[in-house]
Amino acid sequence: MPAVAAGEEIAMLCDWVVKENQHYSASEVLATIETDKAVVDFTAEADGVLLRVLVPPGTEAHVGAPIALIARAGETVGDIDALLASFALTGAQATTLPAPEGATADTPEAPTVSAPVAPIAGLGEGPGPLPREQDARIFVSPIARRLAHDAGIAIESLTGTGPNGRIIRRDVELAIASRQVDSPQMQPESLPPVEPVARRPVTGSPLAVAPATPDRNQAGSPGAGEFTETPHSRVRRAIAQRLSESKQTIPHFYLRGCAQVDGLVALRAQLNESSPRISVNDFVIKAAACAHQLVPDMNVVWTEDCVRKMSSVDIGAAVATPSGLVTPVLRSVEHMPIGVVAATTRDFAERARVGRLHQQELEGGSSTVTNLGMYGTEEFAAIINPPQSSILAVGAVHKEPVVTKKGNVRPRSVIRVTLSVDHRPIDGVTAARWMRVFLEILEQPIRLLV
């Protein structure tokens, strides 16, 4: 299993593009691998043939663990099973994650082997399975074990439908669903009776008597404590961990601003007559990059040893997907024409929704733009995406009465933004200067076309 993302110890083998006994060429995609943030193509380094899949689709494995047996182009292997046995790898053993160092009783169990696992040519060295007792052997994937533990389901009570009877995620989810269906609902008579409470008439009220406290036994009312559970996905766990870390370790402060964008709206309409669609958010991303150029002290990130000032302006664009929020990063936005910004964000959004972003597209950047304006939200604040130092929350363009310089009240198109800032590398004055420049650029959008 390759290390496709920094700090990742476990990844999921989504699918094998090349099948067993199929020849492949260098740089051809062998498999797709899912990390906490993206789906990554695993490509071949040289021509060869896939002899045996050791980790089936939908299975997690430790980085460095063997996932397949391959041969060089033209190489002949007689007895594949014997070869695997010489490496102490069998089908059932290969599909179970090896136990990491310091494993406890709650850690996914390792397969039984008679000898340490030797590295397989072309796969690299990795942690090998550890020996354990032969009796009462239960094969279970790590994610299935975690889901069962969280749901309070004994592994021994499950029937595995994976390879060699292995318990996989689907088996646990079916058990959870079955338990919810089979569990008896709380009966109305089991609740203590509630006496109606008479209310005094309110003087001057159009109602003579206020309604009594609702009867819990009323037909059709939901039973107390009813709920459904959705197991956490890898993406949702990653989002929860990163944002919790952000609020706990990053001292946020917030600046709010408002810009009149009648000129921007008119410019956008004119450009969209002859070019692919450009959104207001594309203008915001470009304006944020220009502001970073003019206030370079905002284009920084905090590290343990120093404040790192970036040489180019890389801006993240938050994209909502069915599995959660991802933030692909546009590189060198200060040099991108507005049409290229629009095309890049559109490509990111399309690939993000089908899980086809590359890992390197999700890393880096000093700031992110997140926009809820398309949902009618006028103003909100966002949590910084570490290790970035700021995030700009953008609301909807809407009409408001505005007092002109001559004292007249006129309807104007306005947009409200909130900048969340990491106070460790950035002072309030620096962020205020950036906000002033950013709002001026939005109100003079012709500067975004230069």
Determine the number of helices (DSSP H) and then strands (DSSP E) in the chain.
9, 18
Name the residue with tokens 């090349």: 18
Is 335 tagged catalytic?
no
Q: Is 358 exposed, middle or buried (0-12, 13-18, 19+ CB in 10 A)?
A: middle
How far is Cα of residue 443 from the mean position of the Cα atoms in its chain? 34
Q: Strand 390-394 relative to strand 409-422: parallel, antiparallel, unpaired? A: antiparallel
The answer to whether the CB of 97 falls within 8 A of the CB of 108 is yes
Q: Is 447 in a helix, a strand, or coil?
A: helix
> Among 417, 442, 447, which residue's Cα sits nearest to residue 260?
442
Q: What angle do CA 244, 245, 247 make, to 5 degrees?
A: 65
Active-site residue identified among 232, 252, 358, 423: 423
Measured between alpha carbons, how far is 67 from 62 in angstroms, rounded to an integer? Answer: 10
Measured between alpha carbons, how far is 205 from 281 in angstroms, rounded to an integer? Answer: 50
> Among 328, 326, 321, 323, which residue's Cα sits nearest to residue 285?
328
For the record, the structure tokens of 264 come out as 């921007």
Give Cβ neighbours of residue 243 (< 8 Å, ≥ 6 apart). Answer: 383
Phi, psi of 2 (to 5 degrees): -75, 155
Per-residue DSSP letters for 202-252?
PTT-S-SSPPPPPPTT-TTPPPTT-----PPPHHHHHHHHHHHHHHHHS-E
Name the residue with tokens 């001292």: 251
Catalytic residues: 423
